[in-house]
Amino acid sequence: MPFWVPAMTAYTIRPKRGLSLLGIIAALSFSVIFVIWYGMNSDRDYIHPILTQLIPAGHCACESSTTFQCSTCLTCPEPPVQENTTPAWSFEYARDGRNEALDQKQCQSAFPGLFEDIARGGKFWSTHGGLSTAELDTITIQQGMARAFISQGELHVVTARSKGEDHRRKILGTLSSIHRALAADPERASRRDVEFVFSVEDKVDDVTNPEWPVWVFSRTPTEQGVWLMPDFSFWAWDNPNNYMGPYDQVVDRIKRLDIPWSDKKPQLVWRGKPSFAPKLRRALIEAARGKSWGDVKQVDWSTGSNVLKMEDHCHYMFIAHVEGRSYSASLKYRQACNSVIVAHKLQFIQHHHYLLIADGPNQNYVEVERDFSDLADKIEPLISDTETARRIANNSVTTFRERYLTPAAEACYWRSLLDGYAGVWNSTVEQWSENTQRERGLRYESFVLLESPKMFEFDASATERWQAS
């Protein structure tokens, strides 16, 4: 008789039996853990549905999401026109899209709705007593973070910490974007001084906490102390495995292809690694499996199987977007195609997400549930009537690629962020340190000339360290 058949009568665990039982429990637990680990980390096309159920939401807490009721942003009346001689200026993509030097009035008129999160951050901090050097001093600068200030329109770096090349590039990209927006500003010299801290990590809680006024690439709805800034890839998304270039250059590449709507495949495309966000990504794979409109595949970077270049996504009428471990900077590349973006309800907010509109005449993407349960219901009518889909794609391109994601809009956003932050900034910014008897920060122009290793742990007050050869 197998020893584990329970004898209902006087059953006592003798030491030996107890040990084997423990052994079995341990083995079982180990198998369960292994199976779940496998489910979360596997990049195979198919894993059993029971397993996909078991996968914990893990680093994509799936409960909450963000949908902005912001359709008014796009249609709200232009600010009142002054009744003087010149006709009202209005934004034209071909003429103004690359103009990083629009003035404040032009920015407001060209990009209504773009500055929502800055207004939100300003409101939050004005009801929380404003910001000063004291608040910044409480923030621990972790790797992936930097502290900088603007004084008399010039950018100075106080501290910058990087774990490696990826951090360093993202920090440089961010500083460079700020510098570009400043350099184009005709009012540069009269700008208000501000000091700030930013993080280039994917998530707020990777390095900091939502009660601190840190500038970040994305936040969740409950992370209210942080300020949103445009992500590093507007400057350029380049690393040794992938040289994509500045965002506007990718847009140029895509526009050169310019695939007519009628030549696009009436299918939904997605390529990616399921293990980055297994619950979400596997739900998409399952929802599209076996459907004639589905072209959803997992990518194996090591063998190159199923890899699809960013530009080649534009051959499809529908492009799925799924968050990864946090926001995914790839959304804006998908939006560069004249195609319909299909995204689940998003949880991480980036600065331009307020402009996403899920229905009505200005609809510019298709929104589905986070488990993709309504994917077929939403896609199939659009496949049978591709005119509606064409209109959504057109709205997407005119809203994002040709307006809110242009270099002009990015520069306007940066300056508006500096202004909004200055509105609650309640300290002076010193260029000179009485303590150390030297400048508190290193000018951006000099910082970019440092050898890479000196940027990794940069602290302007430890001059002798970063100046040593």
Binding site for ligand NAG (CB under 6 A): 129-130, 338, 394, 397-398, 426
The smaller minimum CB distance to ligand NAG, of residues 129 and 453, is found at 129
Name every residue whose Cβ is closer than 8 Å to that of residue 330 and which is 6 or more positions away in sequence: 310, 321
Cα 416 from Cα 178, distance rounded (Å): 11
Residue that the structure tokens 């008897």 belong to:
437
Query: Rounded distance, CA 149 to CA 427, Å?
Result: 12
Query: What is the Cα–Cα distance from 226 to 206, expressed in whole angstroms?
Result: 13
Counts of helices then strands in the chain (DSSP H, E): 18, 16
Contacts of 18 (CB under 8 A, 6+ apart): none
> Whose Cβ is closer to ligand NAG: residue 240's or residue 260's?
260
d(CA 160, CA 156) in angstroms, rounded, equals 11
Task: From residue 237, give the alpha-carbon distance in Å to each of 206, 240, 271, 394, 397.
Answer: 21, 10, 18, 26, 21
**Type of residue numbered 31:** S
Q: Which is nearer to ligand NAG, 328 or 339 (CB)?
A: 339
CB of 92 to ligand NAG, least distance (A): 13
- To ligand NAG, the closest distance from the beta carbon of 308 in angstroms equals 21
Nearer Cβ to ligand NAG, position 6 or 260? Answer: 260
Q: Which residue is nearest to ligand NAG (CB)?
A: 130
Indicate if the alpha-carbon torsion angle 405, 78, 121, 68 is positive or negative: negative
* 294-298, strands of its sheet edge to edge: 294-298, 265-272, 316-321, 340-344, 366-368
Cβ closer to ligand NAG: 320 or 397? Answer: 397
Q: How many Å is the Cα radius of gyration of the chain?
A: 26
- Judged by beta carbon, residue 190 or residue 262, the one nearer ligand NAG is 262
Give the shortest CB-126-to-ligand NAG separation in angstroms: 7
Asked if 54 contacts 36 with a C-beta cutoff of 8 angstroms, the reply is: yes
CB of 198 to ligand NAG, least distance (A): 22
CA 173, 177, 179, 180 torsion: positive or negative?
positive
Give the shortest CB-73-to-ligand NAG separation in angstroms.
Answer: 19
**Shortest Cβ 364–ligand NAG spacing (Å):** 12
Smallest separation (angstroms) from ligand NAG to the CB of 69: 25
Least distance between ligand NAG and beta carbon 443 (Å): 28
Nearest to ligand NAG of 118, 146 (CB atom): 118
Q: Rounded to an integer, what distance in angstroms lies between the CA atom of residue 283 and that of residue 287?
A: 6
**CB of 252 vs ligand NAG, minimal distance in Å:** 14
Report the residue number, 255 or 273, with the smaller CB distance to ligand NAG. 255
> Nearer to ligand NAG by C-beta: 326 or 395?
395
Residue placing its CB nearer to ligand NAG in the complex, 258 or 377: 258
Task: Provide the minimum distance between the beta carbon of 75 and ligand NAG in the complex, in angstroms, as a whole number.
Answer: 16
Q: Give the strand pairing for 316-321 and 340-344.
A: parallel
Q: Using the structure block, give the residue that is written with the tokens 């402009």.
A: 355
